[in-house]
Amino acid sequence: MKLSVGWKAAIIVIIILVLDQILKIWVKTNMDLGKSFPVFGEWFYIHFVENPGMAFGWKFGGKTGKLFLSLFRLVAIGLFIWYLRTLIREKAKPGFVLCISIILAGAIGNMIDSAFYGLIFDSGMTFNPETGGYIGYSGVSQFSTDGYAPLLHGCVVDMFYFPIIDTFYPEWFPIESMRGNRFVFFGPIFNIADVAVTTGIFSIILFHWKSLKQISSR
């Protein structure tokens, strides 16, 4: 039986969400915060960090900023669902529909962490109003009904780390203040949901820009 574009989109979203959440839950319940292990040599690690902000470890304000970001994600997800349904109804190109589906799956994946991880795990990074930053914790997290943060205040679990170049700036570097400091390329730590969002966006830019323009002009 040939699947419709709508069913393909739904299957893609489900697959990405399942893989994303399985890996995040395994990392959170089996690794200490900040711990890592190599996957391929010295250029690919599973490195467990928690991110209270946006994708790839970027921060966004304190506790109020965290709540705003979570609410923004909810609104964005709602708009993406509406947009995806519109594309399917108007029989947009399948490739473009699937790109939007991938982005939607990534957005939902990180939203699950932000919305519910604070409620279902006993430990996680929490905001300290005295320092204006988030503080870590020791030990491996466990499922718990007590939780470590209110609804929409959980931290996103990140784990993919690719320090392709890990070295130090030479003493002859033109900027004196950076001489001898550590330089890492590629530094951000991210997850499957981040990969999905980035892949979907770049696929649209490279292959489906005309479809986006056509839909936007209607």
Q: What is the set of active-site residues?
A: 158, 194
DSSP structure string for 32-59: -TT-EEEEETTTEEEEEEEESSSGGG--
Q: Token digits for 22?
A: 């399985």
Length of the chain: 218
Angle (deg, nearest 10), helices 209-216 and 94-112: 90
CA end-to-end span of the chain, whole Å?
33
Cis bond upstream, residue 186 (ω within 30)? yes
